[in-house]
Amino acid sequence: MTTFKYTKILAFTLCFFLTHGAFAQFGKANKVELPDTYEFDYHYQLKMTHKKDDFTLDYYLKQDAQYFGFDAQAMAKGKDDAKMFMVMDTKLDVSAMFMEMMGKKVVQKNNIKASDFMGKEEDMSDYNFKEIDSKTILGYECEGYVSENDKQKITFYITNDVPVSFNQIFGSNIKNMPKGFNPAIMKKYAEGGLMMEMIYEDKKKSKNNMTMECTKVEAADLSIDTTKYGSMMGAFIGN
């Protein structure tokens, strides 16, 4: 469990879509065979508030699965007739963008590893860590924590009452624990734990301050039948 994991997931989702979008170059990923179906049983919605802009992101998770889904429709500005949904599959090391456009269903696959954007193990030995009062968010009891050094302060709340998490997808990548960290917390959230709120404060540059707030976490019944989606090349040549 690491507070930075969620910022990295968020940054990856935004940057990958903006830089690759629906028209990434074709590559080896086209040879990757996707499962016939991706199923999701929870909808996890995050609102990110920043000085420059606000974003609402819709993630879809499945218990014990090594993938997550992201509704990219809101990011498809200027493409009102297009539907886009991205799946990041860490087991296959591939992302798949499922699209409906011009009356056709197509999928664009790209090779990508979780380690490419999760980075190296995080050394948090210069942080101080403490538990704070818990609070209830969206009906879920959340434990509060503060992780702080001379550059930044991160306040976050986590619940263990939801059966899905990003931990089963990415695992943990913390090298050295912060001062005051209770190892029992790591054990508790080793396989579960969902962040419900995070407040990031940059002590040097306040313009970087931001908050992430879970605005929805609820059961969902969503599935993507990958067999119904053809390749981008096939769509271009009229197959």
CA dihedral of 196, 201, 205, 207, whole degrees rounded to 10: 40
Domain residue extents for the chain: 3-23+37-117+219-236, 120-215
Residue 73 has pLDDT above 80, yes or no: no
> Per residue in 161-186, pLDDT tens?
888 887 766 655 555 555 555 555 55
Least-confidence region, from 55-59, 148-152, 229-233: 229-233
Q: pLDDT value at position 118?
A: 53
Predicted confidence band of residue 215 (pLDDT cuts 50, 70, 90): very high
pLDDT at 22: 43
Residue of 152 and 8 predicted with greater confidence: 152
Give per-residue pLDDT as tens, 187-209.
566 567 888 999 999 999 999 89
Task: State both tokens at 27.
Answer: 């590559």
Q: Does the structure show a pLDDT above 50 at 13?
A: yes
% of residues, the chain, pLDDT over 70:
65
Q: What is the CB neighbour count within 10 angstroms for residue 138? A: 16
- Which pLDDT does position 57 carry in this prediction? 86
Confidence of residue 114 (pLDDT cuts 50, 70, 90): low
Contacts for 66 with CB less than 8 Å, ≥ 6 apart: 89, 90, 91, 168, 169
Cβ neighbours, 10 Å, residue 105: 15
For the segment 135-146, what is each residue's pLDDT rounded down to a tens digit?
999 999 999 999
Average pLDDT over residues 13-34: 57
- Of 76-80, 85-89, 122-126, the one with minimum mean pLDDT is 76-80
For residue 146, which amino acid is it?
A: V
HSE-CB at 11 with a 13 A cutoff on CA atoms is: 11
